[in-house]
Amino acid sequence: MKTTTLLVTAAMVMMMTGLARAEPIGVGAPLEVNLQIHQGAVALDFDTAAEKYYQIEFSQDLVTWDREGYSFKGTGGRMSKVASGRGLARGYYRLRDDGDPQNVATG
């Protein structure tokens, strides 16, 4: 298992085999994210702001981004989310702190 702690802006990209940067977008203070890669999945552990929505996204080419699951609401505390490795040798992930409140899982 590989564990990495890093400071990221909402546009920094986390790659399954390392780290790569996208152009930063000015949406707020850097987020501290702990990243673990284990058995083809990527686990993200990070602090959240209450009432703010977050979205994990995936890309194979750093150009086209797909949502990884639903947006989720911050708690004001630490949260953990697991993203699928999609069975690919390489992929890129980013955590956005401007998730869509209309794209939240219910139930």
- Give the per-residue pLDDT at 11: 38
Mean pLDDT of 39-54: 86
Q: Residue with structure tokens 């909402």? A: 10
CA angle 9, 63, 88 (to 5 degrees): 95
Please say whether the beta carbons of 81 and 39 come within 8 A: no
Alpha-carbon dihedral 92, 71, 67, 23, rounded to 10 degrees: -50
Q: Is 24 helix (H, G, I), strand (E, B) or coil?
A: coil
Backbone angles phi, psi at 63, to 5 degrees: -115, -55
Q: What is the pLDDT of residues 67-98, one digit of tens each?
A: 988 999 999 999 999 888 777 777 788 888 88
Is the overall model pTM greater than 0.75, yes or no? Answer: no
Q: Name the nearest CA neighbour of 13 among 62, 50, 52, 53.
A: 62
First to last CA, the chain: 32
Distance separating alpha carbons of residues 71 and 53, to the nearest angstrom = 6
